Amino acid sequence: MQRALSFLRYLPARSDLTLPAVIALVGQIEVWVPEFPLSHMVGPKPVNAAGYLLAALALLWRRRAPIGVLAFIATVSSVQYLLIGASEGLGSFLPPLISLYSVGRHSKPQSLIVAGPLGLLGVAVHELRDPIFELGGPAITFWLVLAAAWPLGQAFRTRQLHADRLADRATLLEREREVHVRDAIAQERNRIARELHDVVGHGLSVIVVQALAAMGKSDRDGGTDVRDRLDAIEETARQSLAEMRRLVGLLDRDEDPSRGPQPRVAEIEGLIEQTRAAGLPVEFTVEGTEASLSPGLDLTVYRIVQEALTNILKHAGPTDAFVTIRYSASALEVEVADNGAGGITRDENGRGLIGMRERVSLYEGEFHAGPRPEGGYLVQARLPIREKAP
């Protein structure tokens, strides 16, 4: 079975069949059709027909073994010319021309060391045995065309290799981009998880404290049923808080455990002042009636504005920024835009945008980032406002 497969590897490809078939047909027509244009035949027709056919069939392997094919054609043609003389026509001209081109197209530049002498051998024998050979325009044209075949093949080979390298590089960059995106998502989720620990952990801690206070009051009032219920609240809260700390601790082993209070929407004004001090003019607008937000949503809005302003500072060049927070009955909208004076395109798969998308999706919101029709860049998020649990 392996021998059969090994043999199949040496068979010509289907795409290599047409050209040799056409050349073989032309050669046979030149041999057997009297006074065929562009040809001058000498010697016995069967010998010419056999020589042309062998040379044409050898071209079936011009991709797999280009130097071998050139050597075979040069040898067969030389023997034919030495035996019966050299005929002129497409049947004798096309096989060496195609084989020289194929050596250049499918072999390394060093192939010229072999291809050059083989090509010269075939040309020299043909001209020596051609009874109507004359040194002049047609002969020189014939030589120049043959001489150009190998460099032309090399030029196409170089172009193809360059295209292949570009394709490989594009594939590699795409894989690196995918890895970059996955890493960015993982890092942002870890960051959100740590912030979740601070936000939710504070709430659970309050539950524990309130349950302890209520238990003290129930002890004084003698409320056994209330005491049992508060015991259950305390135990559940303590277990939840401990479990969350263990889980987030797995993500946070390499981080600094000392983190301050998480920022809120109310602190965006201070963030904008810092951005202005860094040299970026910012116009800040709040529309609608401010609503009470959950701690996590409060933090998400702040992070979106913070990351969007950071991106403008990094990428937009000389520009102005516009921050709008819009409250409605059911949602909060955040818009951060610049006028695009710098004209630099932002990476849609950058870590900052990935992080913002992750945060918005956590609250089942809508996120958009892209160029504005009037110029510049816009980051826009719409976050549903959920009422806090009583």
pLDDT averaged over 10-residue windows placed end to end, the chain, 390 residues: 52 81 91 79 90 92 90 90 87 90 90 85 84 75 87 92 87 78 72 65 65 66 64 67 58 50 85 86 92 83 90 76 92 91 50 80 88 89 68
pLDDT value of position 156: 92
Quick check: 312 and 377 in contact, CB under 8 A? yes
Give me the architecture of the 265-384 domain, per CATH.
2-Layer Sandwich (3.30)
Task: Give the pLDDT score at 10.
Answer: 61
Instruction: Please give the pLDDT value at position 4.
Output: 46
Q: What is the pLDDT of residue 344?
A: 41
What residues does each domain of the chain span? Answer: 2-133, 178-251, 265-384
Q: What predicted TM-score, i.e. pTM, was given to this entire model?
A: 0.50
- Predicted local confidence at residue 318, as pLDDT: 65
Do 150 and 127 meet the contact criterion of CB atoms below 8 Å apart? no
pLDDT of 7 reads 44
